[in-house]
Structure 1
């Protein structure tokens, strides 16, 4: 997954509204632990992102649809159990790259927030929200009854994640070729109200080694980014990193820090981040990695759980 480098985002922080309660942050220097390794998805391509329905205890993984052109914006969303067993999948046509997806519980159902209306670049220009239904195919060109969502005016590219603990929708959007972050109350966003962001700022230069952005997630007043390349792209050099920013200031809190999670995996491309809170109340920062050979890529998930108070 390659998208506009964070190193190309220049300039000062545009704005940041300090409205988010202070919370602990993950210590990115602490070890990562396995959830599972080398699990099959609904397709055989590289995973792009993943998300948890924290209420119904479900896991979803996005990847490019098998046989689709890289710029067509066709995706497969797989549902896995927490042991990595495939439970079902659905396809999205003409929707985007799958940079980030988000899951929202609505009773016993799970609604997904994803990109849609792919541009010639292969990235989605809008968001949409729909119920996950195993075996269903949604086509952005035909399913026009599903509302298109533009959280920030004049944005020409956007993705999102949900902080399931703080109940916030966090949007990464592009405007004038620059990447920004905006935070909204999830209930307000679901109702279509994006008029009062809790934070809105330009992402600063993160000084990463790999120059490739691979996903993000948020917990409380911190947002986390995953950076890095596959071993194929880096000539076998491990360059995957994680970094945290304070959403109330827009400034780097920690990192970038090298992560060795899954370092022995074949291919090993960092792909996706998510937050999950266990039944016992432990909050976990998840990191995703693709592995395996071309034509048989596998899903791998790891997590960090050490918090700094």
Structure 2
């Protein structure tokens, strides 16, 4: 494994990539970076995952709590657990649009617990936050008629619990930055303790906004607290054939997962200091899990492992009607 510089040791990190993909303008100059005080010049530099190489495969064709489709996952790296979000793709009951199962496993996919969420959303992205002796989940919440969430909710995981969308145990943690917040989807960067929310302001107009996790936890999610905000690439007709399937962030870079069932799957890299709809790497195809029956990319997360951080991404598969989850990761850096 290559040497992994500390995110805190920013002066020692390479400046390479700063001027790639239209990123030569500072975020402040482009009006993309806003702080509670004076605007900063840029998101601090960090290492970037190398999307090539074999990587690892710690979870292979594991059945989860319900025979539902795995949509996303996230790591509790403190306790070395995974939390998977699952949706019922065959649901036709309007009273249960947006129902999700959460399955807790160890890092090999062995089941350790589960929790039901009623009328939350599609489960496109999930974040896990170990805090004060509990584990909190961040998910899309308040399902609309389309089955996707309209807000972001934070709540404690409780094995065996059933949580209704109207429960007082759910904290509303939806950003209020002036933009329309269509289908907000949360992710946590454990390397910098930041909350990132991907959302849309309209059809094919995806954006991302970043907050300190401590501010987000306390509900400070207004414009004056955002650390960064920028556009993500529009997906056009290509996106109709290759659905967005998840994202994760580590330091300065955001990673996107796209693809459809039984088709090619793609990873992209976004620089939070970039401008417009620029990318660092556009649609690097991955062949991970290509032998899986009904292979469909589903979910991304950062796994903080004893050997260093890992960029994990998952696939749903279907073996004779049994729905399964597999997870792969990259751990090298460019």
TM-score (structure 2 length as normaliser)? 0.81
| Kept in 2: contact 1:165–1:220 (CA 8 A) | yes
Give the superposition deviation at 1:112. 0.2
In the alignment, which residue of structure 1 is the partner of 2:82? 59
Partners of 1:70 and 1:122 within 8 A in 2: no
Matched with 2:115 is: 90
Partner of 1:40: 63
Residue ranges of structure 1 left out of the alignment (5+ in a row)? 1-12, 232-237
Per the alignment, residue 234 of structure 1 pairs with: none
Contact 1:116/1:124 (8 A) holds in 2: yes
1:283 is matched with which residue? 309
Higher alpha-carbon Rg: 2
Q: Aligned pair 1:16/2:32, yes or no?
A: yes
1:187 aligns with 2:210: no
Partner Cα distance (1:129, 1:288) in 2: 23
Given the alignment, which residue of 185, 196, 202 partners 2:231?
202
Distance in 1, matches of 2:155 and 2:86, equals: 17
Q: 1:273 aligns with which of 284, 297, 300?
A: 300
Pairing 1:102–2:133 present:
no
Q: 1:31 aligned to 2:60?
A: no
Pick closer, same or farther for the CA change 1:81–1:264 going to 2, 3 Å: same
Deviation at 1:300, TM superposition (A): 0.1
Aligned-partner SS, 1:298 = strand
Q: CA deviation at 1:145?
A: 5.1
What is the aligned-residue RMSD (CA, Å)? 2.1
Where 2:197 maps in the other structure, the secondary structure is strand
Aligned in 2, Cα 1:15/1:198: closer, same or farther, shift over 3 Å? same
**Cα 1:284–1:257 shift into 2, 3 Å:** same
Distance in 1 between the 2:306 and 2:64 partners?
25
- Give the secondary structure class of the aligned counterpart of 1:176: coil
Whether the 8 Å CA contact 2:266–2:285 is kept in 1: the answer is: yes
Match of 1:6 in 2: none
Q: Is the contact between residue 206 and residue 234 of structure 2 (CA under 8 Å) also seen in structure 1?
A: no
Relative to the length of structure 1, the TM-score reads 0.87
How far apart are residue 77 of structure 1 and its match? 0.3
1:160 paired residue among 169, 172, 186: 186
Q: Deviations over 1:51-87 (max 9, x none)?
A: 0012222210001148743870000000011121111
Preserved CA contact (<8 Å) 1:53 1:104: yes
Q: 2:220 & 2:101 partners in 1: Cα distance? A: 29
How far off its partner does 1:192 sit?
1.0
Name the CA distance, whole Å, in 2 between partners of 1:66 and 1:97: 9
Match of 1:125 among 129, 139, 150: 150
Instruction: Quote the offset at 1:294 in angstroms.
Output: 6.2
Partner of 1:187, secondary structure, is: helix
Q: Quick one: distance in 2 between partners of 1:70 and 1:145?
A: 25
Corresponding residue number in structure 2 for 1:49: 72
Residue in structure 1 matching 2:264, options 239, 252, 262: 239
Gapped regions of structure 2 (runs ≥ 5): 1-26, 34-40
**What is the rounded CA distance, in whole Å, between the counterparts of 1:15 and 1:286 in structure 2?**
31
Q: Secondary structure at the match of 1:29?
A: coil
Q: CA deviation at 1:249?
A: 1.6
Taking the aligned partners of 1:24 and 1:156, their CA distance within structure 2 comes to 31
Give the conservation status (yes or no) of the 8 Å contact 1:171–1:183.
Answer: yes
Deviation string for 1:189-245 (max 9, x for gaps)?
1111123211111212368674311100000000000010111xxxxxx41010000
Change (3 A) 1:193 1:132: same
- Asked if residue 143 in structure 1 is aligned to residue 167 in structure 2, the reply is yes
Given that 1:245 and 1:253 are in contact with CA atoms closer than 8 Å, whether structure 2 keeps it comes out as yes
SS in 2 for 1:189: helix
Between the two structures, name the one with larger relative contact order (CA 8 Å, sep ≥ 6). Answer: 1
Residue from 281, 286, 302 that aligns with 1:259: 286
